[in-house]
Amino acid sequence: MSRNTDPAFWSNAHRHLIRYGGSFEPMIIERAQGSFVYDADGRAILDFTSGQMSSLLGHGHPEVAGVVAEHARNLDHLFSGMLSRPVVDLATRLAEITPPGLDRSMLLSTGAEANEAAIKMAKLYTGKYEIVSFAQSWHGMTGGAASATYSAGRKGYGPAAVGSFAIPAPYPYRPRFERNGSFDWQAELDYAFDLIDRQSSGNLAAFIAEPILSSGGLIDLPPGYLAALKNKCVERGMLLILDEAQTGVGRTGLMFAFERDGVVPDILTLSKTLGAGLPLSAVLTSAQIEEECHARGFLFYTTHVSDPLPAAVGLKVLEVVTRDNLVDRARVAGQRLENGLRALQREFDCIGDVRGRGLLLGIEIVKSRAGKEGAPDLGAAITRECMTLGLSMNIVQLPGMGGVFRIAPPLTVSDAEIDLGLSLLKQAIENVVASGTAR
C-alpha cells in the first residue's frame, strides 16, 4: 500500500486544515532537493514551478541552508526598532543592483505585504487614494493588495477599497484592438485611460503592475508598453509600482524584468524569488519618496519587518545568483525550454501559444490553434497526467482564455532536467489526447 494514503494523515488534514483555494494533491511530500520533490513513497517529481514560483535556487540549496542554520542559532528575530547587519547590508546591495531612484528598502515577509506597503506609501506620498491595475492582476490577498487583484478572489467578500480600478492587460494572442491586422496596444491603452479618467474623482495615486502577469495567464507586456504606461502615470501625477515577485532576481534573463524597457518604477516590490523559497520581501523606492512619506508619518510595523535571518538569506541568494552567472543561465536555459515548447506546439494542435521570457514561460491550451477556443477540461486532464508521470505543473484557468501552464523551473535547472520535463509533458499530452479523457 502506498505511504501516500496514510489514513491518519489525511483524517487529520481533513479535520484540522482550513482549505485556502483549490484542492490538495493526493500525496504526502516528505522532502525536496534541487529540482525535485519526493513523496512518501520516495517517488521523484520534477518541480517545474519552483514550489510557489519561489525556489529560485532549487530546493535545499546548501549555502542557503547554511545561512539559515547559522542565523537560527545566533541572530534570527528582533524587535522592529532594532537593526542588524544583514538588514542594512541587504538594503545596500539592493540599491547597488537597481537603477538610481530605488535607493531605499523596507524588508518584509510576503509579496502581499510588500504590495500593501507600496500602495500605502503611494497614497501617503500623493495624498490621493485611487489605485489602478490590470484586470488579470494578482498582487496578494491582504486588503489593499486584494483590492488591486482582479484575476481571482473578488466574489463574496464585500466591497473592495474605494478607488479601485482596472484596465485590460495587453494580450497579443487575443487582441482586442487591431490596426492593419496587428495588435494595437497603444490604442487599447489610450482607450483604457480615457475610461479611467472618466471614472476618477481626481485622486489617482498609483498604477500597480507585473511586467509579466503570471497568475493572469503569463501575459508579457509588449516592448514599449511599460514606457507608455509610465508616461500615462506621469501625466496624471500617479506613481508606478512594479510588482516583480516572480520576475525579479534573474528569472527572465535580466536581474529585473523592467530593465528590458529602460523604465524605472517609482516603487518596486520583490518577494518570492528574493528569498528563494523562504518568506522575504522588499519594497524599494527613492530617497525623495521615502523622505516625504517619513515626514508625513508613514507607519507599517509588522512582526517580522527587518528580521535578520531572512535578510541574510536574501544576501546569500543575490550572492549566488551573481557569482554563478544565473541571470545569463536563465536566458540560455530559457531558450532551450522555449525551443522545446515550440517544438511541442508544432506537434500538438492543442498548444495555442507559447510566451514569456527566460525561465518564466507559459503555454496556452486550446481546442485547436485555428479556433483558439479555451479547453479547460483538456488542460486539467494534462495537468493530472503530468503529475501521474512525475512532473509538477501549474495551470491557471481564467475567463476569455484557454488554460495556461506557468512553467518556471529553478535557475539551477540542468539541461537534462529541462529535456526530461519536455519529454514528460509530451507524453502527458499524447496520453490525454489518445485516451480522449478530456472530451
Contacts of 425 (CB under 8 A, 6+ apart): 344, 382, 386, 391, 393
CA 397 from centroid of its chain's CA atoms: 16
272 tagged catalytic: yes
CA 320 – CA 417 distance, rounded (Å): 20
- Is 185 a known active-site residue? no
Q: Give yes or no: 199 in active site.
A: no
Q: How many residues does the chain have?
A: 439
- Find the catalytic residue in 104, 123, 236, 272: 272
138 is catalytic: yes
Catalytic residue among 246, 251, 353, 385: 246
Catalytic residue of the set 39, 104, 138, 220: 138
Catalytic residue among 113, 130, 210, 417: 210
* Phi–psi pair at 353, nearest 5 degrees: -150, 145
Q: Which of 130, 243, 353, 417 is catalytic?
A: 243
- β-sheet bridge partners, residue 396: 404
Q: Please say if 210 is a catalytic residue.
A: yes
> How far separated are the first and last CA of the chain, in Å rounded?
32
Question: 155 catalytic, yes or no?
Answer: no
Characterize 314-330 residue by residue with b for buried, 16 or more Cβ atoms within 10 angstroms of its Cβ, and e for exposed. bbbbbebbeeeebbebb
For 283, residues 6+ apart whose C-beta sits below 8 A from its C-beta are 105, 106, 108, 114, 117, 118, 121, 267, 268, 269
Mind telling me the catalytic residues?
A: 138, 210, 243, 246, 272, 406
